[in-house]
Structure 1
Amino acid sequence: CEAPIFSAVEKGFFKEEGLDVSLVKCEWANYKDVLALGGFDITHHLIMYFLKPIEQGLDVKFTAGIHMGCLRVQAGTKGNIHTVQDLRGKRIGVPGMGTPPFIFANRVLGANGIDASKDVTWRVFPAGELGLALDKGEVDAVADSEPIGSLLLADGKVRNVADQAKDAPYKDEYCCAVIVNG
């Protein structure tokens, strides 16, 4: 997601447009607050990451969509989960409650008549350990974002059950947007 910003700075694209840009390092846990408090003026990030904070008063604005399709729900290739309906009663690993993969999985489940608060069990693991959780049988499926989803596919550990890049209606939605402080 962030590669275009670094590339644009390195290649001088911002300067060509008359913009004096400096990159600001920020800790992930404080990202939203630092933006809202003016620690930096503009960024791009996963839209879902900002929805709850905006609902709670975070003063930021979405100005443009960046790209689509970085969220997935995936099941282990050794299991018998092939469709969203097969997730009912299963354990789903996520990188955190309230994270974009968790929100995406909730949307997918709800759209398929599965109550995400009752019909599945959520298990939290660091994003980089979701594949290990599948390997160890601690979860039956995972909800993840890039690059984790592609890495798990390339390793042959998972199959896609829901893919924001390919499945309607999600394939027509932006996952990341340009966001400015209010």
Structure 2
Amino acid sequence: MPTTCRAPPTGDHHDRRAPAPRPPAVAPVPAARGRRRGGAAPRLRRERRPGLGPRPRGAVRSRPALRARRGGGAGRALKPIRLAWNATAICTAAAPLAKERGLFARHGLDVEFVNFGGSTEALLEAIATGKADAGIGMALRWLKPLEQGFDVKITAGLHGGCLRLLAAKSAGITDIAGLKGKTIAISDHASPAKNFFGLLLAQAGIDPESGVEWRQYPADLLNLAVEKGEAQALADSDPRTWIWLKDPRFAEVATNLSGSYASRTCCVVAVRGSLIRNDRAAAAALTRAVLEAGHRVHQDPEDAARIFSGYGGKGSVEDLAAMLRSQEHGDRPVGGDLKAQLVLYGEELKQVNVLKRTTDTAKFAERVYADVLS
């Protein structure tokens, strides 16, 4: 039977939320630099929790803080875990929510965020070699590096949708077929947006390599490339695409929230293989906490948006909440359902020459997925 995780049970505590003060805005943590040729994997930046600064001498900790330190009131020491994520990606809002609402602590974890903006290969190497214990990222960016054999296992899908392809209204592009012969601005040639919309081009009978031109620009300047006429369309992810779509000069041509992809997971949770083998309970606790946080994002996107904004998220709280509502945070696949989706992605990525044509996608899905919840 396909398995989809919907709100893992959390007991009475699940519905007793602490008050949700808006965290103060902080500057995003600088991204880690990429790996130098021939050198060691990059050192990841440890991210400080947004807060109110040093506590005055003699101040008393709040009850939630005391419970978190004690492991949710169970009197146990918390297990330190380093979780790599991208603090600018709204679709990872479950991570800071899990931290700020005490879900990690409730599962016995003391989670330290590692804000990572380097290459996916460097991130996966950092997880595989113990510089981080787990990470949250986009399936269409991770599957190719995982094919190369990193000791990192996907344990859950987190949500569906966050990729959009926008076109200048003046270009007259209204569907995927209208992109033939056009230039599409992207942030990099291994981006999930290029991979996904390349799939849609192939399905429309357009060669994704020769039928369009993919032109690389800095991520924050993709809209300017279209405005200047250097490209007729752009492909990227929220929050940037959501914000650009508010510009009346742009129209949405396609997204991974429609058609057969509406129920397909977009972002995934992945854990270092050695952690799963040596401390399966910790891997399971982390996965459950993130899934529970994903359920809360689905139930209360405004609260998730306020928390994410405090970690440097771009856009107003209202816009961030609207983005979260537009994404599919209600489905968080695990087990056979998630493996089936990984097989589908694998077959599609083979068709556009991202994965090797010789890859056995069923065996590939078995290798890169780990069931830590059964």
Q: Normalization by structure 2: what TM-score? A: 0.47
Q: Deviations over 1:75-130 (max 9, x none)?
A: 11221111111101111111100110110111110111110111111100111111
What CA RMSD, in Å, does the superposition of the two structures yield over aligned residues? Answer: 1.3
- Out of 239, 242, 247, the position equivalent to 1:147 is 239
* Structure 1 partner of 2:132: 40
Which of 1 and 2 has greater Rg? 2
User: Is the contact made by 1:106 and 1:116 (CA closer than 8 Å) also made in structure 2?
Assistant: yes
Identity of matched residues, % = 38
Gaps of 5+ in 1: none
One-letter code aligned to 2:184: I
Measured after TM superposition, the shift of residue 21 of structure 1 is: 1.9
70, 78, 83: which one aligns with 2:170: 78
Residue type at the aligned position of 2:228: K
More helix by share: 2
CA distance in 1: counterparts of 2:235 and 2:117, whole angstroms: 23
1:23 aligns with 2:113: yes
CA drift at 1:48: 1.0
Q: Larger strand proportion, structure 1 or 2?
A: 1
Where in structure 2 are the equivalents of 1:54-93 lying within 5 Å?
54-93=146-185
Query: Are residues 1:135 and 2:230 paired?
Result: no
Alpha-carbon distance in 2 for matches of 1:32, 1:55: 12
- Secondary structure of 1:24's counterpart equals strand
Runs of 4+ in 1 over 6 A off after TM superposition: none
8 Å CA contact 1:91–1:122 kept in 2: the answer is yes
Match in the other structure for 1:170: 261
Letter paired with 2:153 = K
TM-score after normalising by structure 1: 0.94
Distance in 2 between residues matched to 1:157 and 1:32, nearest whole Å: 38
Unaligned runs of 5+ in 2: 1-90, 274-374
AA partner of residue 205 (structure 2):
G
CA distance in 1, matches of 2:219, 2:117: 17
**Structure 1 residues 21-30 or 137-146, which shifts more?**
21-30
SS of 1:28 mapped into structure 2: coil
Alpha-carbon distance in structure 2 between the residues aligned to 1:69 and 1:143:
13
The 1-side partners of 2:164 and 2:147 are apart by: 24
